[in-house]
Amino acid sequence: MNTTNATDLIAASAYSKSAKGQFDLNIPGDSHPPLLQVTQLVRHYPLPRTNLFQPPQQVQALQGVDFTVAAGHSLGIVGESGSGKSTLARLVMALDTPTSGTVHLLGRNLHRLPAGELRHARRDFQMVFQDPYGSLDPHHKVERIVTEPLQAQRTASRDEQREQAAQVLAQVGLRSADLEKYPHEFSGGQRQRIAIARALITRPRLIVADEPVSALDVSVQAQVLNLMLDLQQEFGITYLLISHDLAVVNHLCDEVLVLYQGRIVERGTPQQLFHHAQHPYTRALISAVPRIEPGRARARRALMAAGVARTMV
């Protein structure tokens, strides 16, 4: 298979970059605490015991992860399947409890908050999931789906909820008439817009997006990523973007962490990683970005028509 030169791919990329775009997530001398601070995060999962006379085995999904993200910036997490990306997302979202280590959002230790305070704090951090088909309940209308985080907060009246839902739908490029529809009436890209609207409705400071575009067509991926960029510039949202695709992360992120077997093995701006990747896994990731070769398919079709090539590759 032909592989990149990923540098060319990035240079040729039509992707727009965040206006902030600089690698300054840890600004020296900056007196503001980071929006998100993850310290020595460890998560081990016990495996079912197979032998009564031996201690139970464990999966070491995360083995001491540290990073900070300043408000309004985007941090990308890349890594192969099983490297711990979704585990990290669940811990940052306080959907799972760490074996050890801490997650501070806006200075609060999320895993130490009493249940009532955590419920209230959830306004500030929301999640967008990978699967726009599975993450929206097919039995509920869009209005109910999008207002779900407000229902959990129990603060807004039904009319206020509907008004806010119409507002966020407009912000993601849908119409208020769509509130009455069911998820099956939308395309994959539109469903992911609904999922983003649901995340936006509490006006969160942080959105954790776990592979938000990997289930979408490439053309639709760029639309959804551009929407996320626009929303960031309008509302100053901070993103933690998880992906196995460096091109997706390059579209949106100021800094990237490479996770490998539950540890951070490399970090830098997307450009730094593309130009100076140190870790063999990062280099493998870069060489896996497919090369775009304009004209190659056309040449191959011509060969096929002439009977020279038997199969299309």
Q: Which is nearer to ligand ATP, 43 or 73 (CB)?
A: 43
- Stretch touching ligand ATP by CB under 6 A, among 83-91, 103-111, 121-129, 287-295: 83-91
Give the count of residues interacting with ligand ATP (CB under 6 A).
Answer: 12
SS3 call for 99: coil
Q: How far is the CB of 290 from ligand ATP (least distance, A)?
A: 18
| C-alpha torsion 286→79→213→121, nearest 10 | -140
Two structure tokens written together for 39: 């310290």
Q: Give the torsion sign (CA, 188, 85, 107, 23).
A: negative
Residue numbers 24-53 binding ligand ATP by CB under 6 A: 45
Using rule CB under 6 A, residue 84 touches ligand ATP: yes
Exposure pattern of 54-74 as b/e (b: 16+ CB <10 Å)?
eeeeeeebbbebebbbbebbb
79's contact among Mg ion, ligand ATP, none, with CB below 5 to 8 A by partner kind, is ligand ATP
Side-by-side strand order, sheet with 108-109: 58-69, 36-46, 100-105, 108-109
The item of ligand ATP, Mg ion, none sharing an interface with residue 268, based on CB under 5 to 8 Å by kind, is none
Stretch (H or E) spanning 115? helix 115-121
Is residue 85 part of the contact set for ligand ATP (CB under 6 A)? yes
Residue 243 is a binding residue for Mg ion (CB under 5 A): no
Structure tokens at 311: 């199969």
> Would you say 144 or 263 has its CB closer to Mg ion?
263
Please name the amino acid found at residue 122.
R
User: In the complex, what is the shortest distance from the CB of residue 44 to ligand ATP, in angstroms, rounded to a whole number?
Assistant: 9
Q: Which residue stretch of 10-18, 75-83, 227-235, 245-253 sits at the interface with ligand ATP (rule: CB under 6 A)?
A: 75-83
Pair 165, 147: CB distance under 8 Å = yes
How near is the Cβ of 267 to ligand ATP at its closest, in Å? Answer: 16
User: H or E segment at 243?
Assistant: strand 238-243
Choose the contact partner of 81 out of ligand ATP, Mg ion, none; CB within 5 to 8 A by kind.
ligand ATP
CB closer to Mg ion, 89 vs 110: 89
36 neighbors 109 (Cβ within 8 angstroms): no
Nearer to Mg ion, 94 or 309 (CB): 94
The smaller minimum CB distance to ligand ATP, of residues 123 and 244, is found at: 244
Stretch of 7-15, 78-86, 111-119, 154-162 contacting ligand ATP, by CB under 6 A: 78-86
C-beta contacts of 248-252 below 8 A and 24+ residues apart? 248/76, 248/213, 248/214, 248/221, 249/76, 249/78, 250/10, 250/13, 250/15, 250/76, 250/274, 251/13, 251/15, 251/17, 251/222, 251/225, 252/18, 252/74, 252/76, 252/225, 252/228
For residue 91, give the nearest of 145, 38, 51 by alpha carbon: 38
Q: Which stretch binds Mg ion (CB under 5 A): 28-36, 41-49, 81-89, 221-229?
A: 81-89
Q: Which is nearer to ligand ATP, 45 or 133 (CB)?
A: 45
How many CA within 13 A on the CB side of residue 33? 9
Cβ closest to Mg ion, residue 86 vs residue 221: 86
Q: Which is nearer to ligand ATP, 16 or 99 (CB)?
A: 99
Residues that bind Mg ion in the complex, under the rule CB under 5 A: 85-86
Residues found near ligand ATP in the complex (CB under 6 A): 45, 59, 61, 79, 81-87, 244
